[in-house]
Amino acid sequence: MKHDNRTPKDSQVEMTEMVLPNDTNTLGNMLGGKLMHLIDIAAAIAGARHSNKVAVTASVDELNFLHPIKLGEVVILRASVNRVFNTSMEIGVKVFSQNLRTGELIHANSAYLTFVALDDNGKPARIAPIHPGDEEEMRRYREALERRERRLQHRKHQKKA
């Protein structure tokens, strides 16, 4: 695969795990911290696949818990690079829960993370651009720029405070 012509599909990640008792709170729901850990891993793998470098978490934009994931269900994480900005990239992770008895699949969580690719000296490295293919990838690509602009504005306001 040519490094300068990568699409989101080239680096997509799908992780699947069973929710076990050690992963849950007293209500039998998956712990938020455990899910955040899995989201970070899926995003890091997608970022590393795209950049061919170690990718580290720079920020977590949004993390929306839409539906609890229950003990005994399967959690499915789908991570994809939405857009590249020089040395950083936005990676979206969509999380589903699946009841193995019924087969029902529910959108349980969405997250947007920014990752930075590092060179062999641990310094930020330039990343090849991503080339969206279908309409869904184009939408995510456009919306990633809007989120980046909001992140930069937020960071600017934080520095003033």
- pTM, full prediction: 0.92
Q: What's 128's domain CATH number?
A: 3.10.129.10
d(CA 141, CA 132): 7
Helix (H, G, I), strand (E, B) or coil at 75: strand
- Closest Cα partner for 10 from 47, 50, 45? 50
Segment 61-115, tens digit of pLDDT: 878 899 999 999 999 999 999 999 999 999 999 999 999 999 999 999 999 999 9
Domain span including residue 84 = 3-160
Cα separation, 87 vs 16, whole angstroms? 29
Residue 1 has pLDDT above 50, yes or no: no
| Residue with the larger pLDDT of the pair 20 and 63 | 20
Residue corresponding to tokens 């992963």? 23
Strands 88-98, 105-118: pairing is antiparallel
* pLDDT at residue number 156: 83
